[in-house]
Structure 1
Amino acid sequence: MKASDIMTTGVVSTNPECPLSEVLQVMLDRRISGLPVIDKSGKLVGVITEGDCLRRVETGTEIKRPLWRELFTGPEKLAQEYIHAHGRKVSEVMTADPITVTEDTDVSEIIHLMEKSRIKRLPIMRGDVVVGIVSRANVIRALAGLLRGAKVNETDTEIRNNIVAEFGKLPWAANELVDVRVKDGVVDLWGSFTAFRQDEAAVVAAENVAGVKDVRSHLSWIDPMSGLMIYSPDEKTPLAAVRAQV
């Protein structure tokens, strides 16, 4: 999946000289949490977001340090923080030189950049032109669509074979003894694991196989230190709860 598959087009933007009060009103009216900043030449010069407006003198939330700490903070940083907290124009508050991606960037790379840089949106570029925005909301909407998915008409035998094949690909499950039984799309897992949460991971792996309607776990967990087999006799108590009682 590419950025072009999930991005928002028709991007609302602002310019560096725009008063901060106007931009905040646009955010409120359009129900958006950030927008790109584009100069007169059409060049992307920054992004302004809700996060850029949190540390403000008007709300008493500007960065405050004890005097002794200010002595160890460079004057350039102090000046920048002052501008950020008191600035009235977009250029004084925005995040400059934003990270950008192209329409062909894979969604996995977009998520990696969001996590690594702790940002919530990325401008999508076509050359020097902003053609879209991908936000966390775009990613979540795409995920929701994928999870709903299309109905799959797999036979029980095909479902079982696919689950077994999936277990065979997973390093934590490939060598375990798990019996998979499928009836009308409902999967029953029997067997045992020797590492914490392997049983839960096995259920998740089975749930993600096409055609599976439900997964019922009858898996037990063998404590590798004591050799004690821990399980839920009534098959209703989660194994995690049973472990907590041991």
Structure 2
Amino acid sequence: MKVRDFMIRDVHTVNQNAPVSDVLQLFVSKRVNGAPVVDGDGRLVGMVSDGDILRYINPQRQTVYDMFSYVFVSQPEELAEALSYKVGTPAKKIMKKNVQSVLPDQDLEEALSLLAKHHFKKLPVVNDKKEVVGVISRGDLLKQIAERLNELNANSVGG
């Protein structure tokens, strides 16, 4: 079995310069929890997830700085304050940069291995030019495997 047989072709990508607010809108409107980040030519440059966004917009707690025997204490930040300046940050600032990807013609076992080894939820599928052509996600992969198992079971019972 090949990656192309299981990948999602209708993939939602994020431009590396898109602000966090646009990424949030995409995630909510399309009901996704992560997306490949691409440059202006559609080439993969990273991945961004809902967890990356939550960690980034999380308001800062009170911080104590000790600089040459002077102590500075920052004030805790409110969520509204954090959102006011963090939602304009480009995706490239919060994305994961060292991203694993697979090619459509790779064996599915290789994709499974990467998903399991690195605990990824999604794995971008790219062509030879590094353009995103799909995505393979753990949930969709498990659903496909379960459907194939059901087919195999139905065939073995009926035969």
The CA deviation string for residues 75-120 of structure 1, in whole angstroms up to 9 with x for no partner, is: xxxxxxxxxxx57210111111311101122222212111211211
Larger radius of gyration: 1
- Among 142, 145, 155, the alignment partner of 1:143 is 145
Counterpart Cα distance in 1 of 2:61 and 2:100: 25
The CA deviation string for residues 176-231 of structure 1, in whole angstroms up to 9 with x for no partner, is: xxxxxxxxxxxxxxxxxxxxxxxxxxxxxxxxxx439xxxxxxxxxxxxxxxxxxx
CA RMSD between the two structures: 2.6
Amino acid at match of 1:211: V
Q: Retained in 1: the 8 A contact 2:20–2:53?
A: no
Paired position in structure 1 for 2:58 = 59
Aligned 1:64-83 pairs, distance under 5 A? none
Q: Retained in 2: the 8 A contact 1:34–1:49?
A: yes
Q: Retained in 2: the 8 A contact 1:55–1:63?
A: no
The CA deviation string for residues 55-91 of structure 1, in whole angstroms up to 9 with x for no partner, is: 13x433x6999979xxxxxxxxxxxxxxxxx572101
Change beyond 3 A, Cα 1:15–1:109: same
Q: Retained in 1: the 8 A contact 2:16–2:39?
A: yes
Counterpart Cα distance in 2 of 1:44 and 1:26: 18
Counterpart Cα distance in 2 of 1:55 and 1:46: 17
Counterpart Cα distance in 2 of 1:100 and 1:112: 12
Change beyond 3 A, Cα 1:4–1:64: farther
Change beyond 3 A, Cα 1:63–1:36: farther
Secondary structure of the corresponding residue to residue 144 of structure 2: helix
- Residue 51 of structure 1: CA displacement? 2.1
Paired position in structure 2 for 1:99 = 100
Secondary structure of the corresponding residue to residue 10 of structure 1: coil
Paired position in structure 2 for 1:181 = none
Paired position in structure 1 for 2:16 = 16
Q: Retained in 1: the 8 A contact 2:124–2:135?
A: yes
Paired position in structure 1 for 2:133 = 131
Amino acid at match of 1:19: P
Change beyond 3 A, Cα 1:54–1:148: same
Tell whether 2:76 aligns with 1:41. no
- Residue 42 of structure 1: CA displacement? 2.8
Task: Identify unmatched segments of 5+ residues in structure 2.
Answer: 67-85
Amino acid at match of 1:25: Q
- Structure with greater contact order relative to length (CA < 8 Å, sep ≥ 6): 2
Counterpart Cα distance in 1 of 2:30 and 2:46: 19
Counterpart Cα distance in 1 of 2:39 and 2:120: 22
Task: Identify unmatched segments of 5+ residues in structure 1.
Answer: 69-85, 153-209, 213-246
Secondary structure of the corresponding residue to residue 36 of structure 1: strand
Give 4+ residue runs of structure 1 displaced > 4 Å after superposition.
62-68
Greater Cα offset, 16-25 or 138-147: 138-147
